[in-house]
Amino acid sequence: MREYLVTFHKVVSDDIGHDRRVLQQQAVVSAPCPVTALAMAKIHFCETAGIVDWRLRADSCEVVALTERAA
């Protein structure tokens, strides 16, 4: 299994009208592939935020491989 860092961001406007990406949540997920890691992180994000769709709180998500864990 490999570990992945999954981050969720929301684009918001600051007080002078510039768009900024604001971190909403990060999760380290152990999964066999990035697609599975993203699916698991989306489920976790929805559960912790109490929402049905992660896009209610974030505009984008990103998956980065960290390390490979020994079985």
Decide if domain 2-68 falls under CATH 3.10.20: yes
* 29 exposure class (CB count in 10 Å sphere: 0-12, 13-18, 19+): buried
* Residue 68 confidence (pLDDT) above 70: no
Instruction: Give the chain's end-to-end CA distance (angstroms, integer).
Output: 7
Name the pTM for this structure: 0.85
Comparison of pLDDT for 59 and 70, the residue scoring more: 59
Task: Give tens-digit pLDDT for 7-36.
Answer: 999 999 988 989 999 999 999 999 999 999
Where exactly are the structural domains of the chain? 2-68
From CA 30, how far away is CA 11, in angstroms rounded?
27
